[in-house]
Amino acid sequence: AIVPRPTSSAMAPPSSAMVGAFAAVFYGVVAVAMGFINKAVMSVYGLEESNFLLLSQMLCTVAVLFFLRGAGRMQFAPISLAQAKKLLPVAILYNANVAFALASLAKVSVPTYNTLKRLTPAVVLAANTALRLRPDPSKEVVACIVVVVLGCLIAGYGDLEFDPRGYVMGLTSCALQASYLLVVERTGAERGMTSIEIMVYNAMLSSPPLFLVVLATGELGSGIERLSAMSGDVGFVSVFVLALLAGMLLNYALFLCTLTNSALTTTVVGVLKGVVSTALGFFLLGGVDPSVTHVMGILTNTVGGVAYSCVTYSEKQAKRRMKVKNSDLDLAGSEGK
């Protein structure tokens, strides 16, 4: 008689599903805080130079990570020319996405900004389907995404303060974010780079072209002038430092979530954090007047997001169980010979 051996899963480290869930939650929490911190810097304290703020965040990321490497707390290899060529599209897309997002956030309210950004899942899903970058998602997953997007549209219809430039910048950022997530998923996960490596390489590649943009638009001079004028304001200095650190954490959280999950999962997490920040946005930093339609849209969006999480987790667990079962059958077959 063949005595079945215990499967390796009994003594395995935390599953990929658990790691992916942690990365998704971490990204969501940091992203919610980041939106309000950036909004406070630009709207409450009047630092309207969004590209200057982004450049400051990139330079802070590079400085902190190289300091940690020099102190022996972190390791990452110097970027090679080949890696730079491969990751340059990622850096450009990331830079453009965040730049347009910050510019949009500076002109519209947090709920309106989130409403525009929630259209990203549809773009990712359409790109995956059209370009065959990944296997087609299940009908249940597609249905959840449809509900999420429908909720976004309802919420937006019920509470939008029209600002043409803010809308155009927000929608442009939405398309760029979808492209960025797909490129990161393929260039990062498939080539074996860690999230730290991608983060520092992206910041290094992003800083020079962003510096030229800031210099050409005049934001460099005006940004430095504003910093000097408000350097005595403890509140501004505190929020600005938080914005620099939160920017680095958001970079890490986004890369980690994308590498441990699919691009679609990262996008939906972004949608869910948008729901939370929208609810908080009704009361923080001036707030907005809610409407019944807007609240209905948020609830619809939340239901779709929760359903998506449940469906994808169930599918991932089912695949793991099938893999373990097939492994056991192969093992039993080899021992029976």
pLDDT single digits (tens) 32-50: 888 888 888 888 888 888 8
Query: If you average pLDDT over residues 255-282, what whole number do you get?
Result: 75
Provide the 8-state DSSP code for 285.
T
**pTM of the complete model:** 0.69
Q: What is the pLDDT of residues 182-223, one digit of tens each?
A: 777 776 544 667 767 777 888 888 889 899 989 998 999 999
Give residue for tokens 């992206």. Answer: 202
Nearest alpha carbon to residue 91 among 179, 170, 166, 167: 179
Distance separating alpha carbons of residues 76 and 134, to the nearest angstrom: 29
**What's the pLDDT at 214?**
92
Rounded to an integer, the average pLDDT of 291-298 is: 79
